[in-house]
């Protein structure tokens, strides 16, 4: 997991130094962000090489335009937003069917897959919940999946997600809420399957 | 540290999706450790609940793509190396070590179906390697004796270039070609290519049309074909949509004879055929044809009346055990009426070619029919 919350301070200064032309800062920045960007990009396409190319292009472009960039931005959000934009553009232009479509979803599926190591889960309850969760997440609509991913697996704030996906913060909140409801919705169903639950847990679930 | 309320009232799923709790489980830090350990001490009855939540968080991992740290470092290094050179006007950064050049292929492009390639004279991979030969676009252009015109396409739309001999080149994204300033007057029509282009070549008997691309030379005998080779790609691909092309490696020591002077020793591609050439290993991907050895003792009936060309050539092939390569599409409508009995094979060929207004060449046991 790449929660950059702890290194937020240094990241801001890295960005600022990069903008001023410091190559070392640029290098650090790129190393820091490469994997998260790569992970994110690969959710939109299975073409890993395309994603790598886009990331390289992106950083080069940033360097070229560094004098025109804002100092007070969230570098992560800026990078993720730029990658998203350029990837979508490339994917659209390579798929003539979608050339004239404005629908974001149609361009690329958000491929979020949860893998569960069932045998590593000790408790039966945990196993059941985890399995159910994975199913529920798979059934989420594309953009909700994306929001969930950015929030819980990239640790992005509502603001950062809004900037990345080019939507309002309110929309982010709404989508998150809806998604969480859906993800948890099936929990009640587990009881009908007659699975024994810790009495404490039962109490917590309001049953 | 409470984001949405009192942790005492939290359910399993509330914990699973709580930011602070998740962070503690997945990438703990000092302050989080302190907080949560304390909380657990104060709420021992929640231990089981917490354990469930922890297990769920830990085991619902997202499947992420694989990439090694080494590869990341390589990529970062290559970008850092280019930092100085960027901003030099090179629009799409074609000098980067891209893992692959990605571009959209318009539906109108003619892409040939790869079938097989007739290999002439040289076995696969045994093309003599002349180390002194420099075969990349830049070097070829610099070393050219003639004055060259360069055309570059940095836009995303294909660029149509009309050459003075009547040929047309459709140059695709991120591609460039160079050709003689007096193209219609040179002895050999040479074009140097980096990228991708479709060529429609005007027929000119005396002047072969040659495309030089990253180690591979393509000579046009027919009309329309596509060459693809990007600067930092190791591979060159030639697709033929109509006509016939002959290809040879630039590293071929006898290149001049092989392809420039029509002496054979190259690979002939006919319509719907493809060759892949890898520059670094000087390797041409081909299928080797079995040499036909069958020779008929009795002469079959070589008296033709309105016989389709295809049949005629087939009879020659069967009779003499020699493959005849010709552009099927171009000659499909033609018919031969002639009595070629008792004539030698060469006489037969002469007569047929005269009737069709084409000419032929023999290359190591195969007959190749060319347009005039």
Q: What is the pLDDT of residue A163?
A: 93
Each residue's pLDDT tens digit, A152-191: 889 899 999 999 999 999 999 999 999 988 887 654 444 4
pLDDT at A3: 36
CA distance B321 to B328: 19
Specify the pLDDT at position A63: 93
Q: Is A151 exposed, middle or buried (0-12, 13-18, 19+ CB in 10 A)?
A: buried
Length of chain B: 372
Mean pLDDT for the stretch of residues A98-102: 48
Taking an 8 Å cut-off on Cβ atoms, the answer to whether B86 and A53 are in contact is: no
Residue A1 has pLDDT above 80, yes or no: no
Q: Which of B64, B155, B95 is nearest to A57 (CA)?
A: B95
Q: CB–CB of A26 and B83 under 8 A?
A: yes
Contact B304, B340 (CB under 8 A): yes
Contact assignment for A129 to B9 by CB distance below 8 Å: no
Contact B79 A198 (CB under 8 A): no
Site from B24, B27, B52 to mutate, A interface, most A CB atoms within 10 angstroms: B52
List C-alpha distances in Å: B248 to A35, B35, B279.
42, 72, 12
pLDDT score recorded for residue A199: 57
Give CA–CA dist B327/B245, Å, rounded: 10
Max Cα-Cα span within chain B: 110
Question: Angle at which helices B69-82 and A48-64 pack, to 10 degrees?
Answer: 40
Selection from B163, B165, B150, B240 nearest residue B195 by Cα: B150
Q: Do B200 and B367 meet the contact criterion of CB atoms below 8 Å apart?
A: no
B83 contacts in A (CB within 8 Å)? 23, 26, 60, 63
Q: Are B151 and B159 in contact (CB under 8 A)?
A: yes
Decide if the complex's ipTM is over 0.85: no
A111 confidence band (pLDDT: 50, 70, 90): confident
pLDDT score of B90? 42
Of residues B49, B55, B98, nearest to A201 (C-beta) = B49
CB atoms within 10 A of CB B270: 24
Contact call for B13 and A129, based on CB within 8 A: yes
Written as tens digits, the pLDDT of chain B (372 aa) is 444 468 888 888 888 888 889 888 888 788 888 889 889 888 888 888 898 888 888 888 888 888 888 889 989 998 998 887 654 444 443 334 444 332 222 211 222 222 122 222 223 333 343 433 467 788 888 888 778 889 998 888 888 888 888 888 989 888 899 998 888 777 788 899 988 888 888 777 667 788 888 777 777 755 666 777 776 667 777 765 555 566 666 666 555 555 555 554 456 654 444 566 676 776 665 432 222 222 344 556 788 888 889 889 988 877 766 778 888 878 888 888 888 887 777 788 888 998 888 888 776 557 888 876
Measured between alpha carbons, how far is A80 from B228 in angstroms, rounded to an integer? Answer: 33
Strand pairing of B224-229 and B216-220? unpaired
- Distance from the B38 Cα atom to the nearest Cα atom in chain A, whole angstroms: 20
Q: A43-57, A71-85, A96-110, B297-311: which has the minimum mean pLDDT?
A: A96-110
Nearest-by-Cβ selection for B52 from A42, A49, A126: A126
Residues contacting B341, CB < 8 A, separation 6+: B299, B301, B302, B303
Interface contacts A/B by beta carbons within 8 Å: 150
Contact A39 B17 (CB under 8 A): no
Q: What distance in Å separates residue A106's CA from the closest CA in chain B? A: 18
| Chain B contact probe: residue of A19, A32, A34, A107 with most B CBs at under 10 A | A34
The pLDDT score that the predictor gives to residue B372 is 66
- Which residue of A lies nearest to B21 if distances are taken between CA atoms? A152
DSSP B323-335: EEE--HHHHTT-E
Q: How far is CA B43 from CA A126, B18, B46, in A?
A: 20, 18, 6
B76/A205 Cβ within 8 A:
no
Residue scoring higher pLDDT (A97 or A146): A146
Q: pLDDT tens digit string along B163-185?
A: 888 888 989 888 899 998 888 77
| CB atoms inside a 10 Å sphere around CB A166 | 10
Of residues B212 and A206, more confidence is placed in B212
Closest residue in chain A to residue B47, using alpha carbons only: A200
Cα of first residue to Cα of last residue in chain B, in angstroms, is: 85
More confident: B344 or A38: A38
Residue B219: the pLDDT is: 75
Does residue A202 register a pLDDT over 70?
A: no
Give the model's pLDDT for residue B59: 81
Q: Is any Cβ of chain B less than 8 angstroms from the Cβ of A126?
A: yes
Measured between beta carbons, the chain B residues lying within 8 angstroms of A183 are 13, 17
Q: Where are the beta strands (DSSP E) in B25-122?
A: 60-62, 118-119
């Amino acid at each position: 997991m790449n929660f950059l919350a702890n290194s937020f301070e240094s990241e801001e200064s890295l960005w600022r130094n990069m903008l001023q032309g410091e190559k070392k800062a640029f290098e650090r920045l790129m190393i820091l962000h490469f994997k998260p960007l790569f992970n994110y990009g690969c959710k939109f396409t299975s073409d890993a090489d395309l994603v790598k190319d886009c990331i390289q292009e992106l950083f080069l472009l940033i360097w070229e335009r560094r004098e025109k960039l804002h100092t007070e931005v969230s570098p992560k959000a800026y990078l993720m937003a730029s990658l998203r934009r350029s990837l979508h553009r490339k994917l659209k232009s390579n798929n003539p069917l979608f050339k004239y479509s404005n629908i974001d979803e149609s361009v690329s599926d958000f491929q979020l897959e949860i893998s569960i190591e069932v045998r590593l889960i000790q408790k039966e309850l945990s196993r059941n919940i985890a399995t159910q969760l994975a199913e529920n997440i798979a059934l989420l609509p594309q953009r909700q999946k994306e929001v969930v991913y950015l929030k819980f697996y990239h640790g992005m704030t509502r603001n950062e997600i809004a900037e990345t996906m080019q939507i309002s913060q309110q929309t982010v909140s709404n989508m998150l809420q809806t998604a969480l409801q859906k993800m948890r919705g099936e929990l009640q169903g587990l009881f009908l399957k007659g699975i024994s639950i810790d009495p404490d847990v039962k109490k917590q679930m309001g049953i | 540290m409470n984001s949405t309320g009192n942790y005492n009232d939290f359910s399993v799923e509330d914990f699973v999706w709580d930011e602070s709790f998740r962070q503690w489980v997945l990438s703990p830090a000092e302050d989080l450790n302190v907080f949560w350990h304390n909380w657990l001490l104060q709420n021992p009855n929640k231990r089981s609940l917490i354990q469930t939540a922890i297990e769920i968080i830990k085991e619902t991992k997202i499947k992420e793509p694989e990439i090694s740290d080494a590869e990341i470092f390589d990529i970062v290094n290559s970008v850092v190396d280019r930092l100085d050179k960027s901003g030099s006007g090179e629009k799409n950064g074609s000098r980067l070590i891209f893992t692959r050049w990605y571009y959209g292929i318009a539906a109108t492009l003619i892409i040939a179906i790869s079938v097989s390639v007739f290999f002439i004279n040289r076995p696969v991979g045994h093309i003599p390697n002349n180390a002194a030969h420099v075969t990349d676009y830049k070097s070829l252009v610099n070393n050219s004796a003639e004055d060259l015109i360069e055309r570059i396409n940095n836009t995303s739309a294909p660029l149509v270039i009309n050459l003075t001999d009547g040929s047309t080149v459709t140059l695709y994204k991120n591609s460039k070609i160079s050709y003689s300033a007096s193209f219609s007057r040179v002895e050999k029509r040479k074009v140097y290519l980096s990228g991708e282009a479709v060529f429609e070549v005007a027929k000119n008997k005396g002047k072969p049309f040659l495309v030089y691309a990253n180690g591979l030379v393509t000579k046009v005998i027919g009309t329309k074909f596509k060459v693809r080779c990007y600067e930092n790609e190791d591979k060159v691909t030639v697709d033929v949509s109509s006509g016939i092309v002959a290809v040879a490696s630039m590293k071929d020591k006898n290149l001049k004879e092989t392809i420039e002077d029509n002496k054979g020793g190259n690979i002939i591609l006919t319509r719907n055929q493809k060759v892949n050439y890898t520059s670094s290993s000087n390797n041409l991907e081909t299928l080797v044809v079995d040499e036909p050895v069958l020779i008929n003792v009795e002469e079959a009936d070589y008296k033709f009346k309105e016989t389709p060309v295809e049949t005629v050539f087939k009879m020659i092939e069967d009779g003499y055990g020699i493959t005849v390569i010709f552009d099927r599409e171009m000659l499909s409508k033609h018919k031969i009426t002639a009595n070629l009995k008792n004539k030698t094979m060469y006489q037969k060929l002469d007569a047929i070619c005269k009737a069709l207004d084409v000419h032929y060449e023999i290359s190591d046991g195969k007959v190749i029919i060319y347009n005039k």
